[in-house]
Amino acid sequence: MNADTSTATVPAVRRPGRALRIAVIMAAVLIVLLAMLAVAAAMSPVGWARERIEAALSERVGAPVNLGSVERVEVFSYTPTIVLRNLRMAQPDWAGPGDLLTVREVRMRVPVLPAIFRQSIEPGGIVIRGMTANLVRTAEGQWNWRRETKAPDEGQDNDRGMGIAGLTIEDSRFTLKEAKRKLVLAGAMSADARQGVRIGGTGTFDGAPARLQLNGAPVTSTGGDAPYPFTLDFASPLLTMTAKGTMRGALNVRDMRLAMAAKAPSLARLDDLIQAGLFGTAPIDLKAEVRRDGRDWFIERMSGSIGRSQLVGRMDVLKRDGRTKIDGDIRFSQFDFDDLSDARGKARAAAREAQTGERVLPETRINLAKIGPTDGTLRVKAQRLLFGQTTTFRTLAGTITLEGKKLTISDIRSELVQGVMTGRMTVDHRTGAKPMLNIDLMVQGGRLGPLVNAADRFDAPYRARIVLGGRGDTIREALSRADGHAGIVAVNGKVDRVVAAVLGQDLGRTVKAVVSDPDAQVPLRCIAVGFEADEGRLTATPFVIDTDISRSRGVGIIDLESERIALTIGGASKRKGGLRIMEPIRINGTMSRPSVSVAGFNNPPNTGDVIGAVVGSIGGALGLRKKEGPVVNGTGAVDCSGMARSILRATK
């Protein structure tokens, strides 16, 4: 058998050593390329960056920026020293002539490799020499060092520290013209590894002398988030403020915790600096532990005094969607309403009182036209109320809510000497040149005698309600134009027999009660006194006082604009016959100084008054003189419940 001499085709097999050699060669080439790139990076020139730096800075401030030169010192280095010389940043056109910033020289070490791989860069060894910064801010809040009028998106800040490893500042100065805070300062800046950061200046705060000093720790290479301690002192006759705390990173004022103390003639002076929308008050002495996160402020523990008022509390002030949002709780161990006005407000009120005379209705300003984009809720409680004279009010609590230009005080509760007052008040300035004030206050559980400081003469449980609304820049002006109603109802009480007889205009019983038993009392069945308001003019309807022996009816008005009173009370005895007092009871004068005339008597009455009343009564009995005042029917029952429902109704 012949052997098969044909050969079979065998597939070629690649030797493993060849693939390995190819991989090694490719890796070697890559390493060489990276090495060449690294060498190039370590030796690359930086002059090309000058125009880019100029463009970026110019875009930020909206003004021309010139940079003399950008150079590197070392020929070969992965952290070369970059030198910027003769930087000049012009002021934006609106800020006036001159320069915003000039710097003679800036030196810094810049790591090259992180820049190549697009990692964060932490420059080190920054040395700034010959810097002059001229900062300007308008009353509208526009800074000259950034184009944007608005700050970055509120509540979205993730600010870190400066992220630099070492900072030195030499031969440098600054000026600050801050119209929004009424602050003008000029001073020096320095920083080194021994004394740390020092920024100090003098000038004026709303025209008064002012001094500012900020001291910080040395800026080292501990990282951008490392705690950075600092102190701040601001001194002026208008405000003294100190702060001590730590920032999250060097000079990161947008993320810090601090303990603050402030003294000022008014809370408004503190607000000039912190810009929280506060108002004028009596002198303040406050302390607080404060935290700032981005544009949000958290006043975590606050204590101190505003005038005679002593307080503790907390407050969050947030910035959202271009608005300030406040939420807080304030508790007063003692509170004086006068502390809500500063010296200028009290002087204006005194001048008005000198022109118009003493007034009862407060001149508290409620115009909200200047309220900025602010919303908030503040829960307030005063454990003790302070007044300049004896009052029935003891405590006060309520929730203050501000929604744009509408202010609501809800859940009002004030404990009285006897009884409690509850209700709500709104000030709505969303429409109209003047705000609309609406008041709805109810008093229950009280006693009438202590209310008028005459518990020995008469007393009864009472209820009262005020439902008024009107437009005006102050509470007084709004109420002087108010519509609505107000009144008081009392039942099942007691009254001196003498008083009841006088109310019934019964001369015989009055004389008998005075002579026989001046301390005797009779049942007081009903007091129903209501007023309907129309453009600030209160008209009495109904006005009924019903006792066991007499009944009285009143007519007249109280003018809230002038605060003048003109009321006439007539009466009838429930006993037939007897001499009648012909003169009615008249209540005149003003709300601050009312005068009461009984039977035409002077105050105090004299012998001639008594003789005149007797003669007049005899003349009335003989038909020679007509009885004056409202006609009163002393017979039958009065519908006290029906009158009470009308007087105490909720609607205007």
The tokens describing 634, both together, are 């002393």
How many Cα atoms are found within 13 Å in the side-chain-facing hemisphere of 380?
23
Residues 354, 358, 359, CA angle at the centre, nearest 5°?
Answer: 120
Go through the chain and tell me how many residues it has. Answer: 652
Q: Where do we find the tokens 């940043």?
A: 89
The answer to whether the CB of 190 falls within 8 A of the CB of 133 is no
| Sign of the Cα pseudo-torsion (31, 33, 37, 40, in order) | positive
CA separation for the pair 183, 139 (Å, rounded): 11
Q: Are 556 and 569 in contact (CB under 8 A)?
A: no
pLDDT 10s digits, 143-201: 887 765 454 444 444 455 555 668 899 999 999 999 989 999 999 999 998 999 999 99
pLDDT tens sequence across 573-600: 888 766 677 788 899 999 888 888 876 5
* pLDDT at residue number 359: 77
Closest CA to 238 of 280, 200, 199: 280
Nearest to 254 by CA among 217, 278, 228, 234: 228
Among 243, 245, 145, 130, smallest CA distance to 190 is for 130
**Residue 590 DSSP code:** B
C-alpha to C-alpha distance for 67 and 65, rounded to whole angstroms? 7
10 pLDDT more than 80: no
3-state secondary structure (DSSP) of residue 59? helix
pLDDT tens, position by position, 64-101: 889 898 888 877 777 888 888 999 989 988 888 889 99
Q: In this predicted model, what pLDDT tens digit does every residue of 503-518 receive, in sequence order?
A: 888 877 777 878 888 8
For residue 162, the model assigns a pLDDT of 53
What's the rounded mean pLDDT across residues 479-486?
96
**Does residue 37 surpass a pLDDT of 60?**
no
544-583 pLDDT, tens digit each:
999 999 999 999 999 999 999 999 999 888 887 666 777 8
Q: Is the pLDDT of residue 322 over 90?
A: no
**Structure tokens that stand for 492 in this block:** 């099942």
Given this model, what pLDDT does residue 624 score? Answer: 46
Tell me the whole-structure pTM to 2 decimals: 0.76
Residue 478 has phi, psi (to 5 degrees) of -65, -45
Q: Which of 54-58, 463-467, 493-497 has the highest mean pLDDT?
A: 463-467
The phi, psi pair for 89, rounded to 5°, reads: -120, 115
Query: What pLDDT is attached to residue 12?
Result: 47
- Peptide bond between residue 237 and the one before it cis (omega within 30 degrees of 0): no
Does residue 25 register a pLDDT over 70? no
Q: DSSP state, 143?
A: B
Token pair 């025209």 in the structure block, residue: 207
